[in-house]
Amino acid sequence: MRVVVDFDLCESNAICMQIAPDVFEVRDDDFLYILEENPGEDRRAVVEQAVQRCPKQAISLED
Amino acid sequence: MVRSAVTIVGASLAGYWAAETLRRDGFEDRISLIGDEPHAPYDRPPLSKKYLAGDLDDDRLALTTTEKLADLQLDLRLGCSATGLDVAGRTLEVDGAVEPFDGLVIATGTRCRTLPGTVGLAGVHTLRTRDDAAAIRDALADGARRLMVVGAGFIGAEVASTAIGRGVEVTMVEALEAPFGRVLGVEMGAVMADVHRHHGVDLRTGVGVDEVLGEGRVTGVRLADGATLEVDLLVVGIGVVPNTEWLEGSGLTLDDGVVCDGTCLAAPGVVAAGDVARWPNPRYDGLMRVEHWDNAVQQGVHAARRLLQSDEEATPFAPVPWFWSDQYDRKVQLAGRPHPDDEVRVVAGSTAEHRFAAFYGRDGRFTAALGMNRPRQVMQSKGLLEAGASWEEALAFASEWD
């Protein structure tokens, strides 16, 4: 599974960081950084929640 | 409790995610999704922002792609309204025709309050739906020059922000002493007011609207303080009311929404989610109804699962609510549930620079975190709120910032 962020849509609400802090980080510069582009299968449910709850629908998963 | 078929009334955020969740969790029987708008499920937050500015087309507004929607294999009925419900008889009325239901998700949301005496007056708008937003967008494109926004809540603030960005003259009228004052209190409300004025909005607080002027089309507004202003576009953002009229006599408890138990169950086999649902969140006292985007997503998911669970399996719905609002170049976020007279402390940045985080506390409890262009800190704070951190613990955590 690969995490893809559309940075044209992302507005750094940081909800993804709260849900999956090992995968997403919004830093003090207010930009989102992907910490783990290929999370393990055990993280799928959590990352899917981040996809679902991103207010800008900027995150997607590619298998 | 496994249902043989589920009907979802309301095809916006909560209804869509209820349907998606049922399929994701393996529910294979019929799912009917009934929506009174003619459009496939779409996202509302951009309506007062990018969509209003004309920077987002209808396709990008959709909650999901046509392919993914088709994959859910829904009995999707758009442009249809539920008109009645009989819980004991297990029947639903759709556009006057009675049909049976087995499991039911109520997600009919809310509608805008209107200003008395303005119905049918051209140039007066509320903003809830895609069609509402398109009408305001077109009015701006057609050369509206003087916009008045009544109400300085989310809708008012975001419409003002978008219109200022298009070079329109904007007056904002708020009956309270400060924008968001009822939620954020006086001190932070004043910061919000400063942001509006900084961007050129003529913000008038503590004053109501006496009369909307114009024959057939709005030409002006007379305020309660006697001031009369020329206006060619009026957007009214004075709150919403839950859409529950169709449920009168259904057997459900209605009180500013559909009253549910802590698990989102309103009656056996009937759940409610999103803006219309009122439930006892175990984190807070009393019943709660939340009109925010994230709540609609999460409650849609929770309520759908509740339908398929036994009473023993059911879990309470206990989120820490949060919202965001994009105004001008500022992102406002609030996590938690402040009381307007809670103690407020700025814990990072500065309110003068319009970039800060502030904590709300009461009786040793940490109740909420407000941020302006501070998403990292707000979301870390949301974690603290979920963990039940005390006021002292929260302040200690924030002392590491900056």
Could you give the CA distance from residue B188 to residue B351 in angstroms, rounded to a whole number?
A: 9
Tell me what the pLDDT averaged over chain B comes to. 96
Structure tokens at B342: 């809670």
**Opening angle at CA B238, ends B155 and B134, nearest 5:** 45
Q: Which of A21, A20, A22, A14 is nearest to A55 (CA)?
A: A14
Q: What is the pLDDT of residues B207-235, one digit of tens each?
A: 999 999 999 999 999 999 999 999 999 99
Could you give the CA distance from residue B34 to residue B95 in angstroms, rounded to a whole number?
A: 11
Helix (H, G, I), strand (E, B) or coil at B274: helix
Segment among B53-62, B94-103, B195-204 with least mean pLDDT: B53-62
Q: Which of B151, B162, B152 is nearest to B47 (CA)?
A: B162
Q: Is it true that B5-111+240-308 and B114-236 share their CATH fold?
A: yes
Quick one: DSSP state of residue B25?
Answer: T
Q: Which residue in A has a C-alpha nearest to residue B376's C-alpha? A: A26
Residue B117: predicted pLDDT: 87
Could you give the CA distance from residue B129 to residue B13 in angstroms, rounded to a whole number?
A: 12
Could you give the CA distance from residue B171 to residue B217 in angstroms, rounded to a whole number?
A: 18
Q: Which residue in A has a C-alpha nearest to residue B299's C-alpha? A: A53
Which ipTM value was assigned to this complex?
A: 0.94
Structure tokens at B58: 């209808």
Question: Which chain A residues are Cβ-neighbours of B326 within 8 angstroms?
Answer: 11
Mean local confidence (pLDDT), A25-49: 95
- Partners of B169 in the beta sheet? B146
- Partners of A2 in the beta sheet? A62
The edge-to-edge listing of strands for the beta sheet with B343-350 is: B322-327, B330-336, B365-372, B355-362, B343-350
Q: Which of B241, B307, B314 is nearest to B272 (CA)?
A: B307
Mean local confidence (pLDDT), B326-349: 96
Instruction: Say if CB B54 and CB B25 are below 8 A apart.
Output: no
Mean local confidence (pLDDT), A29-58: 95
Q: Which residue has the tokens 């057939």?
A: B216
Q: Has residue B119 got a pLDDT over 90?
A: no
Confidence of residue B41 (pLDDT cuts 50, 70, 90): very high
Structure tokens at B213: 């002027």
Which CATH fold would you assign to the domain B114-236? Answer: FAD/NAD(P)-binding domain (3.50.50)
Residue A43: predicted pLDDT: 96
How many of the other CB atoms lie within 10 Å of CB of B364?
Answer: 8
Estimate to the nearest angstrom the gap between the alpha carbon of B312 and the chain centroid: 31
Confidence of residue B316 (pLDDT cuts 50, 70, 90): very high
- Partners of B349 in the beta sheet? B356
CB contact under 8 A, A28 and B298: no
Could you give the CA distance from residue A51 to residue A4 in angstroms, rounded to a whole number?
A: 10
Could you give the CA distance from residue A22 to residue A48 in angstroms, rounded to a whole number?
A: 14
Residue positions counted in chain A? 63
Phi first, then psi: give them for residue B21, nearest 5 degrees. Answer: -65, -45
Structure tokens at B52: 């209003």
The 10 Å CB-count burial string (b at 16+, else e) for B20-32 is bbbeeeebeeebb
Question: Which chain A residues are Cβ-neighbours of B322 within 8 angstroms?
Answer: 15
Q: Which residue in B has a C-alpha nearest to residue A33's C-alpha? A: B376
Chain B touched by A15 (CB under 8 Å)? yes
Domain ranges of chain B: 5-111+240-308, 114-236, 329-398
Structure tokens at B220: 């002006």
Residue B2: predicted pLDDT: 66
Q: Looking at CA atoms only, how far is residue A15 from chain B in angstroms?
A: 6
Q: Which of B43, B50, B66 is nearest to B130 (CA)?
A: B43
What residue type is assigned to position B320 of the chain?
V
CA distance readout (Å), B400 to B27, B124, B347, B377:
47, 49, 10, 11
Residue B181: predicted pLDDT: 87
- What is the CB-side half-sphere exposure of residue B124 using CA atoms within 13 A? 24
Instruction: Say if CB B250 and CB B84 are below 8 A apart.
Output: yes
Could you give the CA distance from residue B138 to residue B52 in angstroms, rounded to a whole number?
A: 9
CATH assignment, A2-62: 3.30.70.20
Which CATH fold would you assign to the domain B5-111+240-308? Answer: FAD/NAD(P)-binding domain (3.50.50)
Percentage of the residues of chain B whose pLDDT score is greater than 90:
96
Could you give the CA distance from residue B216 to residue B288 in angstroms, rounded to a whole number?
A: 40
What count of CB pairs under 8 Å joins A to B? 42
Q: Which residue has the tokens 């305020």?
A: B223
Q: Which of B5, B51, B15 is nearest to B304 (CA)?
A: B15
Q: Which of B382, B383, B388 is nearest to B365 (CA)?
A: B388
Asked whether the CA dihedral B22, B23, B28, B30 is positive or negative, the reply is: positive
Q: What is the pLDDT of residues B223-268, one digit of tens each?
A: 999 999 999 999 999 999 999 999 999 999 999 999 999 999 999 9
Could you give the CA distance from residue A3 to residue A23 in angstroms, rounded to a whole number?
A: 9
Q: Has residue B21 got a pLDDT over 90?
A: yes
CB contact under 8 A, A14 and B298: no
- Give the pairing type, strands B30-35 and B5-9: parallel
The answer regarding whether domain B329-398 maps to CATH 3.30.390.30 reads yes
Exposed, middle or buried, B74 (CB in 10 Å: 0-12/13-18/19+)?
buried
Q: Looking at CA atoms only, how far is residue A59 from chain B in angstroms?
A: 13
Question: Which chain A residues are Cβ-neighbours of B349 within 8 angstroms?
Answer: none
